[in-house]
């Protein structure tokens, strides 16, 4: 009697991806499979699967990291189902938490994939992903900008040169920059040091302006509707609006404010046991960059929106940091509502 398969066999591939090599573990729905190392090339894995598992339905998974989504897009192009997972979502039993090798990681991913316990993170479109790189470049420049300013102030303080009171603030006017250029030292070596730092400062300052301008122009051109909807919200200016578009993508993909707040990291943690229950503050799992942007935007929102200001004052007496987190979540909720309804925000009036 000739036997015919009643269902297509399945292959589950867990991959621990690194720059120079991949550790792969292949398991079918019937057998545990084996682990092996291979060059970091999707086409090599495709050839292996085509040779050894030609009729299998293939599902792959690997941890999100520095290697991006190139492998994921290649696997999807082969007709495979591919997942990019958060490393924190991979369950480890007992001693597995204290034993870590590339081989074990690949086996764990394959096991969790086979058991159906893994969910993919959101993989952005290539165009949105490359726009995000421009936003992150701006964020790097902001850090460099703050650092070089601190170094210049440090040198002046070290040599006992007092900054005039009219210039002693965070805004570096052209007049202040001219004053720094004219500072006299006892020996020319210190002057050369300061000149070098001022050249770096001017370069970073110009780069920051250029990148910010290009990023805003791109968002205005390609995401005009969402950009101006976001800018209608008090506290959210051009840069924060670009950050939301670049980092969070289309907010319409979030089902609820709870879903969005959990992604950004403005959801409260709770620890409950028996009759005891306490809040542990905002969750550690977060999109830290966007969470910080929303918190900074909240300080501006309470200055310009009477409704938000009233909400802030209602909680006065508590920890200021806790209050501003509440305001940030409320601002996040309004941001989602504005995008989903496609209605510009109207500033409330207190009667």
Q: Would you write out the chain's pLDDT as a tens digit for each of its 351 residues?
A: 555 555 789 999 999 999 999 999 999 988 888 899 999 999 999 999 999 999 999 999 999 998 999 999 999 999 999 999 999 889 888 888 888 899 999 999 999 999 999 999 999 999 999 999 999 999 999 999 999 999 999 999 999 999 999 998 889 999 999 999 999 999 999 999 999 999 999 999 999 999 999 999 999 999 999 999 999 999 999 999 999 999 999 999 999 999 999 999 998 877 777 777 777 778 888 899 999 999 999 999 999 999 999 999 998 888 888 899 999 999 999 999 999 999 999 886 444
69 and 50, same domain (yes or no) = yes
Are the C-beta atoms of residues 308 and 302 closer than 8 Å to each other? yes
Q: Which domain-ending residue is among 87, 115, 143? A: 115
Residue 238 lies in a domain: no
Residue 75 lies in a domain: yes
Residue 105 lies in a domain: yes
Provide the β-strand partners of residue 271. Answer: 278
Q: Which domain-ending residue is among 115, 149, 183? A: 115
Residue 351 lies in a domain: no
Q: What share of the chain is helix, strand, coil (3-state, %, to 5)?
A: 55, 15, 30
Q: Which domain-ending residue is among 179, 197, 232? A: 232
Task: Domain count for the chain, please give it.
Answer: 3
Per the document, the length of the chain is: 351
Using DSSP bridges, classify how beta strands 81-85 and 57-63 pair: parallel, antiparallel or unpaired. Answer: parallel
301 and 225, same domain (yes or no) = no
Distances (CA, A) of 1 to 6, 182, 349: 15, 97, 82
Residue 237 lies in a domain: no
Q: Which of 63, 62, 32, 31 is nearest to 45 (CA)?
A: 62
- Find the domain containing 183 and state its range: 126-232
Residue 286 per-residue DSSP state: S
To the question of pTM greater than 0.85 for the whole model, the response is: yes
At a CB cut-off of 8 Å and minimum separation 6, what does 64 contact? 84, 85, 86, 87, 121
């Amino acid at each position: 009697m000739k036997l015919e398969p009643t269902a297509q066999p399945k292959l589950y591939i867990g991959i621990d991806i690194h720059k120079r090599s991949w550790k792969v573990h292949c398991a079918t729905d019937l057998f545990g499979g084996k682990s092996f190392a291979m060059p970091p090339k999707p086409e090599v894995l495709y050839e292996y699967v085509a040779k050894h598992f030609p009729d299998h339905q293939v599902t792959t998974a690997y941890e999100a990291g520095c290697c991006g989504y190139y492998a994921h897009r290649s696997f999807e192009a082969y007709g495979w189902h591919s997942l990019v997972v958060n490393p924190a979502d991979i369950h480890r039993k007992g001693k597995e938490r204290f034993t870590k090798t590339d081989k074990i990681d690949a086996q764990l991913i394959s096991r969790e994939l086979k058991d159906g316990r893994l969910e993919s993170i959101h993989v952005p479109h290539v165009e949105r992903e490359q726009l995000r790189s421009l936003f992150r470049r701006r964020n790097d420049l902001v850090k460099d900008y703050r650092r070089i300013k601190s170094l210049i102030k440090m040198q002046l303080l070290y040599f006992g040169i007092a900054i005039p009171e009219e210039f002693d603030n965070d805004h570096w006017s052209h007049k202040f920059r001219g004053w720094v250029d004219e500072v006299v030292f006892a020996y020319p070596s210190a002057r050369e040091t300061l000149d070098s730092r001022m050249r770096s400062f001017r370069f970073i300052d110009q780069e920051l302006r250029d990148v910010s301008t290009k990023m805003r122009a791109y968002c205005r051109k390609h995401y005009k509707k969402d950009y101006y909807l976001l800018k209608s919200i008090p506290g959210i200016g051009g840069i924060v609006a670009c950050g939301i578009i670049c980092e969070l993508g289309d907010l319409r993909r979030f089902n609820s404010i709870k879903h969005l707040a959990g992604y950004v990291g403005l959801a409260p943690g709770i620890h409950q046991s028996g009759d005891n229950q306490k809040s542990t503050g905002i969750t550690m799992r977060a999109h830290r960059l966007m969470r910080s942007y929303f918190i900074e935007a909240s300080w501006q929102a309470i200055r310009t929106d009477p409704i938000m200001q009233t909400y802030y004052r209602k909680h006065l007496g508590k920890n200021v940091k806790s209050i501003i987190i509440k305001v940030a979540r409320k601002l996040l909720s309004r941001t989602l509502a504005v995008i989903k309804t496609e209605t510009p925000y109207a500033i409330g009036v207190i009667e």
